[in-house]
Structure 1
C-alpha cells in the first residue's frame, strides 16, 4: 500500500513540475525565461502594415524554432522588452511587436 502511495505521489509531483506546452505571446514570459518561437501572428494594431512588420521581424531572425529569451523589461515590468535570440543578437521590442510573437516556454 505504501509503495502504491509513493508511486502516486511521484506521478503527481512529476506532472506538477512539467511545463505547459501551450503557446504564449512573448509579453507573457518572465524575465530570463527561455522559449522557442512558434509563429509570427497578426496584430490588428498594425492595420495594413501588419504584413510588412511580420516580414521585418522574420528578416531580423524571429523565425519558428528559434530560441528566445527576455533579457530585460522596462520600468515596472512594462514594455519595451530587451530580447535575445539564440544567435546572441539582442533587440528592443514594443508591446505591439511582443504580441505578434507566439512562443512555447521551455
Structure 2
C-alpha cells in the first residue's frame, strides 16, 4: 500500500521509498527526513475532497506532503495481509 492510500488516523510501517527516476531528489529528501524502513507513520489530516496536501506524522514530527510525494512511500499495516487495503 502507498502512504497516500492510508486512511486518516491509521498507523502503518514504512517498507521503502520508491524512486520515480534515477536519481530521484524527492525520494532522497523523504529518506533524509526520516521516511525509512520500519519507521511508524500516520496520516493525521487530509485536504478537502482528496486534494493536496496530506499531513503525516513520524514520531513527534509532522510533515505536509503532496499526494504524489506520499505515493512514493510504500507502507504496510501490521497484521494485515500484503496487498490488502483497510
State whether structure 2 residue 6 is matched by structure 1 residue 26. no
**SS of match in other structure, 2:13:** strand
Distance 2:12 2:48 in 1: 22
Q: TM-score, normalised by structure 2?
A: 0.82
Query: Corresponding residue for 1:35?
Result: 12
Match of 2:57 in 1: 84
| Shift in Å, 1:97 | 0.5
Gaps of 5+ in 2: 79-86
Alignment pair present for 1:74 and 2:43: no
5+ long unaligned stretches in structure 1: 1-23
Considering only CA atoms, is the larger Rg found in Structure 1 or Structure 2?
Answer: 1
Find runs of 4+ consecutive structure 1 residues off by over 6 angstroms: none
The whole-number CA distance in structure 2 between the counterparts of 1:51 and 1:93 is: 16
Q: TM-score, normalised by structure 1?
A: 0.67
Higher helix share: 1
Report the 3-state secondary structure (helix = DSSP H, G, I; strand = E; otherwise coil) of the residue aligned with 1:31.
coil
